[in-house]
Amino acid sequence: MILRCITLIFLTLVSLKSFSQDKKFYIFICFGQSNMEGNAKIEARDTTAVDSRFQVLQAVDCEARGRIKDNWYTAVPPLVRCTTGLTPADYFGRTLVANLPANIKVGIVNVSVAGAKIEVFEKDSYELYLATAPGWMKSIVAEYDGNPYARLIALAKLAQQSGVIKGILLHQGESNPNDTLWTKKVKEIYDNLIRDLKLKPKKVPLLAGELVNADQGGACAAMNQIIATLPQTVANSYVVSSAGCTCSPDHLHFTAEGYRLLGKRYGLQMLSLLGYKLKENISH
Protein backbone atom coordinates (compact mmCIF):
# COMPACT_ATOMS: atom_id res chain seq x y z
CA MET A 1 0.00 0.00 0.00
CA ILE A 2 2.80 2.41 0.94
CA LEU A 3 4.68 1.48 -2.22
CA ARG A 4 1.58 2.15 -4.28
CA CYS A 5 1.16 5.61 -2.74
CA ILE A 6 4.80 6.44 -3.39
CA THR A 7 4.42 5.32 -7.00
CA LEU A 8 1.32 7.49 -7.48
CA ILE A 9 3.09 10.52 -6.01
CA PHE A 10 6.09 9.92 -8.26
CA LEU A 11 3.92 9.63 -11.37
CA THR A 12 2.05 12.81 -10.43
CA LEU A 13 5.30 14.72 -10.03
CA VAL A 14 6.59 13.41 -13.35
CA SER A 15 3.33 14.45 -15.02
CA LEU A 16 3.50 17.93 -13.53
CA LYS A 17 7.10 18.28 -14.61
CA SER A 18 6.28 17.26 -18.18
CA PHE A 19 3.79 20.11 -18.39
CA SER A 20 5.95 22.63 -16.55
CA GLN A 21 5.98 26.15 -17.87
CA ASP A 22 9.17 27.26 -19.61
CA LYS A 23 9.76 30.92 -18.77
CA LYS A 24 12.03 31.19 -21.78
CA PHE A 25 9.24 30.24 -24.17
CA TYR A 26 7.57 33.55 -25.08
CA ILE A 27 3.94 33.18 -26.24
CA PHE A 28 2.07 35.79 -28.27
CA ILE A 29 -1.68 35.83 -28.90
CA CYS A 30 -2.79 37.04 -32.34
CA PHE A 31 -6.31 37.83 -33.52
CA GLY A 32 -8.12 39.92 -36.11
CA GLN A 33 -9.58 39.60 -39.58
CA SER A 34 -8.13 38.77 -43.00
CA ASN A 35 -4.86 40.67 -42.74
CA MET A 36 -3.98 38.93 -39.47
CA GLU A 37 -5.22 35.67 -40.96
CA GLY A 38 -2.93 36.23 -43.92
CA ASN A 39 -4.07 37.05 -47.45
CA ALA A 40 -0.94 37.19 -49.61
CA LYS A 41 0.38 34.15 -51.47
CA ILE A 42 3.15 32.40 -49.55
CA GLU A 43 6.40 32.50 -51.51
CA ALA A 44 9.30 30.05 -51.50
CA ARG A 45 11.44 32.38 -49.39
CA ASP A 46 8.79 32.26 -46.66
CA THR A 47 8.88 28.49 -46.22
CA THR A 48 12.63 27.90 -46.10
CA ALA A 49 15.06 28.30 -43.20
CA VAL A 50 12.38 28.85 -40.55
CA ASP A 51 14.12 28.67 -37.18
CA SER A 52 12.75 25.83 -35.04
CA ARG A 53 12.78 28.25 -32.09
CA PHE A 54 9.77 29.88 -33.76
CA GLN A 55 6.69 27.73 -33.12
CA VAL A 56 2.97 27.88 -33.86
CA LEU A 57 0.22 26.21 -31.85
CA GLN A 58 -2.03 24.74 -34.54
CA ALA A 59 -5.53 26.20 -34.24
CA VAL A 60 -7.33 23.79 -36.61
CA ASP A 61 -6.67 20.37 -38.06
CA CYS A 62 -4.78 20.51 -41.33
CA GLU A 63 -4.42 16.99 -42.66
CA ALA A 64 -2.88 18.08 -45.96
CA ARG A 65 0.03 19.61 -44.07
CA GLY A 66 0.28 16.86 -41.49
CA ARG A 67 -0.77 19.13 -38.64
CA ILE A 68 -3.18 18.31 -35.83
CA LYS A 69 -4.83 21.06 -33.81
CA ASP A 70 -3.58 21.77 -30.29
CA ASN A 71 -0.03 20.72 -31.17
CA TRP A 72 3.13 22.80 -31.60
CA TYR A 73 4.95 22.92 -34.95
CA THR A 74 7.81 24.90 -36.44
CA ALA A 75 6.15 28.07 -37.73
CA VAL A 76 6.25 27.39 -41.45
CA PRO A 77 3.32 29.25 -43.05
CA PRO A 78 0.38 29.13 -43.13
CA LEU A 79 0.12 29.87 -39.41
CA VAL A 80 -3.66 30.12 -39.12
CA ARG A 81 -5.88 27.84 -41.19
CA CYS A 82 -4.88 25.38 -43.92
CA THR A 83 -5.55 27.71 -46.86
CA THR A 84 -4.59 31.08 -45.40
CA GLY A 85 -1.57 33.07 -46.57
CA LEU A 86 1.29 35.08 -45.17
CA THR A 87 0.48 37.02 -41.99
CA PRO A 88 2.29 39.73 -40.00
CA ALA A 89 2.77 37.03 -37.34
CA ASP A 90 5.23 35.25 -39.66
CA TYR A 91 7.84 37.98 -39.71
CA PHE A 92 6.97 39.15 -36.22
CA GLY A 93 8.17 35.80 -34.90
CA ARG A 94 11.17 35.64 -37.21
CA THR A 95 12.26 39.12 -36.14
CA LEU A 96 12.03 38.10 -32.49
CA VAL A 97 14.05 34.89 -32.76
CA ALA A 98 16.69 36.70 -34.82
CA ASN A 99 17.19 39.24 -32.04
CA LEU A 100 16.45 37.36 -28.82
CA PRO A 101 19.03 35.25 -26.97
CA ALA A 102 19.45 31.76 -28.45
CA ASN A 103 17.89 30.10 -25.39
CA ILE A 104 14.54 31.86 -25.88
CA LYS A 105 11.79 30.38 -28.06
CA VAL A 106 8.80 32.20 -29.53
CA GLY A 107 5.31 30.74 -29.89
CA ILE A 108 2.30 32.08 -31.81
CA VAL A 109 -1.40 31.45 -31.14
CA ASN A 110 -3.51 32.90 -33.96
CA VAL A 111 -7.30 32.85 -34.30
CA SER A 112 -8.52 35.23 -37.01
CA VAL A 113 -11.68 35.46 -39.11
CA ALA A 114 -11.61 37.01 -42.58
CA GLY A 115 -14.11 39.79 -43.16
CA ALA A 116 -15.33 39.84 -39.57
CA LYS A 117 -16.07 42.85 -37.45
CA ILE A 118 -14.37 43.11 -34.08
CA GLU A 119 -17.70 41.97 -32.64
CA VAL A 120 -16.91 38.37 -33.60
CA PHE A 121 -14.51 38.29 -30.61
CA GLU A 122 -16.94 39.75 -28.11
CA LYS A 123 -17.25 37.16 -25.37
CA ASP A 124 -20.92 37.56 -24.52
CA SER A 125 -22.49 38.86 -27.72
CA TYR A 126 -20.62 37.25 -30.65
CA GLU A 127 -23.68 35.12 -31.48
CA LEU A 128 -25.75 38.21 -32.23
CA TYR A 129 -23.17 39.26 -34.80
CA LEU A 130 -22.82 35.80 -36.33
CA ALA A 131 -26.59 35.42 -36.67
CA THR A 132 -26.52 37.71 -39.71
CA ALA A 133 -23.04 36.80 -40.98
CA PRO A 134 -22.66 35.34 -44.51
CA GLY A 135 -22.34 31.59 -44.91
CA TRP A 136 -18.66 31.66 -45.88
CA MET A 137 -17.81 33.49 -42.65
CA LYS A 138 -19.82 31.04 -40.60
CA SER A 139 -17.79 28.26 -42.24
CA ILE A 140 -14.56 29.87 -41.03
CA VAL A 141 -16.01 30.30 -37.54
CA ALA A 142 -17.09 26.65 -37.55
CA GLU A 143 -13.40 25.68 -37.78
CA TYR A 144 -13.02 27.40 -34.42
CA ASP A 145 -15.86 25.35 -32.90
CA GLY A 146 -18.31 28.16 -33.58
CA ASN A 147 -16.78 30.60 -31.08
CA PRO A 148 -13.54 32.40 -32.05
CA TYR A 149 -12.99 34.00 -28.64
CA ALA A 150 -13.49 30.74 -26.75
CA ARG A 151 -11.14 28.96 -29.16
CA LEU A 152 -8.52 31.68 -28.68
CA ILE A 153 -8.78 31.30 -24.91
CA ALA A 154 -8.57 27.51 -25.10
CA LEU A 155 -5.43 27.67 -27.24
CA ALA A 156 -3.87 30.35 -25.05
CA LYS A 157 -4.47 28.30 -21.91
CA LEU A 158 -2.91 25.30 -23.60
CA ALA A 159 0.05 27.45 -24.61
CA GLN A 160 0.44 28.61 -21.01
CA GLN A 161 1.25 25.03 -20.06
CA SER A 162 4.37 25.37 -22.20
CA GLY A 163 5.37 29.02 -21.94
CA VAL A 164 4.59 32.53 -20.77
CA ILE A 165 2.27 34.95 -22.58
CA LYS A 166 4.24 38.12 -23.29
CA GLY A 167 1.96 40.08 -25.59
CA ILE A 168 -1.15 40.33 -27.75
CA LEU A 169 -1.19 41.28 -31.45
CA LEU A 170 -4.24 42.67 -33.22
CA HIS A 171 -4.90 43.56 -36.85
CA GLN A 172 -8.51 44.43 -37.51
CA GLY A 173 -10.66 47.35 -38.60
CA GLU A 174 -11.47 47.04 -42.29
CA SER A 175 -14.94 45.78 -41.36
CA ASN A 176 -15.43 48.51 -38.72
CA PRO A 177 -14.75 51.65 -40.80
CA ASN A 178 -15.56 54.91 -39.04
CA ASP A 179 -16.58 52.99 -35.90
CA THR A 180 -15.89 55.46 -33.11
CA LEU A 181 -16.65 52.75 -30.54
CA TRP A 182 -13.94 50.47 -31.94
CA THR A 183 -11.37 51.32 -29.27
CA LYS A 184 -13.92 50.66 -26.54
CA LYS A 185 -14.79 47.27 -28.08
CA VAL A 186 -11.11 46.36 -28.35
CA LYS A 187 -10.59 47.32 -24.70
CA GLU A 188 -13.40 45.02 -23.62
CA ILE A 189 -11.88 42.10 -25.54
CA TYR A 190 -8.40 42.87 -24.21
CA ASP A 191 -9.72 43.10 -20.64
CA ASN A 192 -11.50 39.75 -21.06
CA LEU A 193 -8.32 38.12 -22.36
CA ILE A 194 -6.34 39.49 -19.42
CA ARG A 195 -8.96 38.32 -16.94
CA ASP A 196 -9.65 34.89 -18.45
CA LEU A 197 -5.96 34.07 -18.81
CA LYS A 198 -5.04 35.51 -15.40
CA LEU A 199 -2.53 37.92 -16.87
CA LYS A 200 -1.23 41.25 -15.60
CA PRO A 201 -2.04 44.08 -18.04
CA LYS A 202 1.14 45.99 -17.19
CA LYS A 203 3.16 42.99 -18.34
CA VAL A 204 1.16 42.10 -21.46
CA PRO A 205 1.09 44.87 -24.08
CA LEU A 206 -1.38 45.06 -26.95
CA LEU A 207 0.08 45.86 -30.37
CA ALA A 208 -2.40 46.99 -33.04
CA GLY A 209 -1.34 47.40 -36.65
CA GLU A 210 -2.57 50.11 -38.97
CA LEU A 211 -4.65 49.17 -42.00
CA VAL A 212 -3.27 49.71 -45.51
CA ASN A 213 -1.89 53.23 -45.32
CA ALA A 214 -3.03 56.32 -47.17
CA ASP A 215 0.36 56.40 -48.91
CA GLN A 216 -0.68 53.16 -50.64
CA GLY A 217 -4.19 54.40 -51.41
CA GLY A 218 -5.64 52.27 -48.61
CA ALA A 219 -9.39 51.75 -49.03
CA CYS A 220 -9.88 51.98 -45.26
CA ALA A 221 -6.96 54.27 -44.44
CA ALA A 222 -9.27 56.70 -42.63
CA MET A 223 -9.76 54.04 -39.95
CA ASN A 224 -6.12 54.52 -38.97
CA GLN A 225 -7.12 57.80 -37.33
CA ILE A 226 -9.33 55.82 -34.94
CA ILE A 227 -6.73 53.10 -34.42
CA ALA A 228 -4.23 55.83 -33.50
CA THR A 229 -6.34 56.70 -30.45
CA LEU A 230 -6.21 53.17 -28.99
CA PRO A 231 -3.47 54.03 -26.44
CA GLN A 232 -5.88 56.57 -24.96
CA THR A 233 -8.29 53.73 -24.13
CA VAL A 234 -5.95 50.78 -23.51
CA ALA A 235 -3.06 51.95 -21.34
CA ASN A 236 -0.49 49.37 -22.39
CA SER A 237 -1.16 49.49 -26.12
CA TYR A 238 0.92 50.55 -29.12
CA VAL A 239 0.10 51.26 -32.76
CA VAL A 240 2.30 49.74 -35.46
CA SER A 241 2.69 51.88 -38.57
CA SER A 242 1.83 50.50 -42.01
CA ALA A 243 3.45 53.39 -43.88
CA GLY A 244 5.26 52.10 -46.93
CA CYS A 245 3.82 48.58 -46.62
CA THR A 246 2.77 47.70 -50.16
CA CYS A 247 -0.74 46.43 -50.85
CA SER A 248 -2.62 44.29 -53.33
CA PRO A 249 -4.86 45.80 -56.06
CA ASP A 250 -7.88 45.74 -53.73
CA HIS A 251 -6.13 48.27 -51.45
CA LEU A 252 -7.39 46.29 -48.46
CA HIS A 253 -4.76 43.58 -48.12
CA PHE A 254 -0.98 43.76 -48.04
CA THR A 255 1.32 42.08 -50.50
CA ALA A 256 3.74 39.45 -49.21
CA GLU A 257 6.42 42.14 -49.00
CA GLY A 258 3.99 44.39 -47.14
CA TYR A 259 3.30 41.64 -44.59
CA ARG A 260 7.02 41.06 -44.12
CA LEU A 261 7.66 44.72 -43.35
CA LEU A 262 4.59 45.10 -41.13
CA GLY A 263 5.43 41.91 -39.23
CA LYS A 264 9.00 43.09 -38.75
CA ARG A 265 7.68 46.34 -37.25
CA TYR A 266 5.45 44.43 -34.84
CA GLY A 267 8.54 42.46 -33.86
CA LEU A 268 10.81 45.45 -33.37
CA GLN A 269 8.17 47.17 -31.26
CA MET A 270 7.79 44.09 -29.07
CA LEU A 271 11.54 43.70 -28.70
CA SER A 272 11.73 47.26 -27.46
CA LEU A 273 8.96 46.61 -24.92
CA LEU A 274 10.71 43.43 -23.77
CA GLY A 275 13.78 45.53 -23.02
CA TYR A 276 16.08 44.32 -25.78
CA LYS A 277 18.36 46.71 -27.61
CA LEU A 278 17.24 47.01 -31.20
CA LYS A 279 19.61 46.24 -34.02
CA GLU A 280 17.32 48.07 -36.44
CA ASN A 281 15.09 51.13 -36.41
CA ILE A 282 11.38 50.40 -35.86
CA SER A 283 10.41 52.69 -38.76
CA HIS A 284 12.29 50.63 -41.36
- Give the residue numbers annotated as catalytic, written as ranges: 34, 250, 253
Chain length of the chain? 284
3-state secondary structure 130-158: HCCCCHHHHHHHHHCCCCHHHHHHHHHHH
Q: In what order do the strands lie in the sheet with 72-74?
A: 72-74, 54-57, 105-112, 25-32, 164-171, 206-209, 237-240
